[in-house]
Structure 1
Amino acid sequence: MSSELRTVAVVVSGRVQGVGYRMWAQGEAGRLGLSGHVRNRPDGTVEAVFSGTPDAVARMLEACRHGPPGARVTDVAITGPGDTVPAAGFAIR
């Protein structure tokens, strides 16, 4: 069944801190049935790992390009395939 899962690590750039991006990502990930986590980075970007069906991950990546109201996303960079599938659920770190 692991061949039916896709795990990606991403870094989202732009005005993405202080606008509710992490809570928004947690809600979207839950709606799409994804597991993983999201956190702010010291450089002002947001880092996330999403794991789930390839279709759900693709939808999340597209949603990340827009983010919540107030966000101004300039880039969503896939930084790697997540090494391990995160535990069930989606956490804000």
Structure 2
Amino acid sequence: MKRVTAMATGKVQGVGYRQYVSDCAHRLGLHGSVQNMRDGSVYIIAEGSPAALEDFIRQVWAREESLIRVEKLLVTEGGATGEFKGFWVEW
């Protein structure tokens, strides 16, 4: 198991991006969370298999989504902590 954290910037708030990220995580069986930050970015934590996380990072660029525009995605990797049971959207 592996963990990625990512900070997405661009047009990522007020456009359904958190729900989009959550849907991607659920499809891939990942655990973690996604939340808006005060600076307009979106913070993502995801844990799962290396292959699923690779697909997840590719998907959260949201290139096919018309309202969402991820301009930068800063990703860091590490070991999974197991602290998450499921994936949720922070409000």
Common fold: TM-score over 0.5: yes
Alpha-carbon distance in structure 2 between the residues aligned to 1:19 and 1:34: 22
Note if contact 1:19-1:69 (Cα within 8 Å) is conserved in structure 2.
no
1:25 corresponds to which of 9, 21, 46: 21
1:43 corresponds to which of 15, 36, 39: 39
Displacement over 4 Å in runs of 4+: none
Note if contact 2:18-2:35 (Cα within 8 Å) is conserved in structure 1.
yes
Aligned length: 89
TM-score relative to the length of structure 2: 0.88
Alpha-carbon distance in structure 2 between the residues aligned to 1:75 and 1:90: 22
Alpha-carbon distance in structure 2 between the residues aligned to 1:92 and 1:39: 6
TM-score relative to the length of structure 1: 0.86
Alpha-carbon distance in structure 1 between the residues aligned to 2:58 and 2:6: 12
2:52 alignment partner, SS class: helix
Hey, what does 1:11 align to over in structure 2? Answer: 7
Alpha-carbon distance in structure 2 between the residues aligned to 1:82 and 1:15: 29
Structure 1: runs of 5 or more not aligned: none
Alpha-carbon distance in structure 1 between the residues aligned to 2:6 and 2:51: 16
- The one-character-per-residue Cα deviations of 1:14-54 (angstroms, maximum 9, x if unpaired) are 00000001111111100000000000000000001010010
Hey, what does 1:54 align to over in structure 2? Answer: 50
- Taking a change above 3 Å as real, the CA distance of residues 15 and 82 of structure 1, as seen in their structure-2 partners, is farther
Hey, what does 2:73 align to over in structure 1? Answer: 76
